[in-house]
Amino acid sequence: MRSKKPIIVIAAVVLLVGGFFLVNTFITQEQQVKEEDLLLYENASQGFSLRYPEGYVQVEPKEAGELKVSFSLTEEWEAFLAAPEAQEGPPAVTVEIFQNPENLPTVEWAAGEKRSNLTAGTGDYVQVEVQGKAGIAYGWPGLHDGLSVALADRGLVYVISVTYLTLEDRIVRDFPLFLEFFKTS
């Protein structure tokens, strides 16, 4: 007899991702945040910008490679830096940019690229649109669970993710703002 657990897990992930975006779209609309009230991050060389609320610190890694920028809540980042022992970093919103020289569709790219984290979970996703561009959204497990939105655009793939401890965390509530004001040029 086959276990029903994989079907239940798949259904839970689909409901979680879909429900997450529905709830957070509603929260964002209720907040009625104005673009000019948010801080601006621009990276002209990589062709994107985004806006984010106050209370976050921007962190760019020192190592070379694909571009990655992350935003953590200031108090959580400061606690991480002050920790007496090495530890995992705090939850964050990250933007990673990957080369896509074959201009693969987002789903095909994500399914074949381990760093996308699509296959770290069930591999299930939902279609989304960010700034008029089609993409996919999916969840994945980890030390901090995560939700990602991936968009393929002109030979690049932008993966915007949030990691969190609970779905009630402020960073999860703020994630739709990062997405709403994410723009490629």
Any idea where the domains of the chain sit in the sequence?
5-184
| Residue 9: predicted pLDDT | 39
Q: Which of 182, 172, 143 is nearest to 21 (CA)?
A: 172
| Residue 54: predicted pLDDT | 96
CA 170 to chain centroid, in Å, comes to 14
| Residue 47: predicted pLDDT | 86
Alpha carbon distance 141, 152 (integer Å): 23
pTM of the model: 0.81
State the fold for domain 5-184: Protein Transport Mog1p; Chain A (3.40.1000)
- E-strand ranges in the chain read 39-43, 48-52, 56-59, 67-73, 93-99, 126-130, 133-140, 145-153, 156-164, 183-184
Residue listed under structure tokens 């990673």: 96
| Residue 78: predicted pLDDT | 95
Which residues contact residue 8 at a Cβ distance below 8 angstroms, ignoring those fewer than 6 apart? none
Q: What is the mean pLDDT of each run of 10 residues along the chain (185 residues)?
A: 43 49 47 86 90 94 71 95 90 94 94 91 92 92 92 93 95 95 91
| Residue 45: predicted pLDDT | 84
| Residue 16: predicted pLDDT | 52
Q: What is the dihedral of CA 97, 98, 102, 105, to 10 degrees?
A: -60
Residue 17's alpha-carbon distances to 5, 47, 106, 128, in angstroms, are 18, 27, 17, 11
| Residue 23: predicted pLDDT | 46
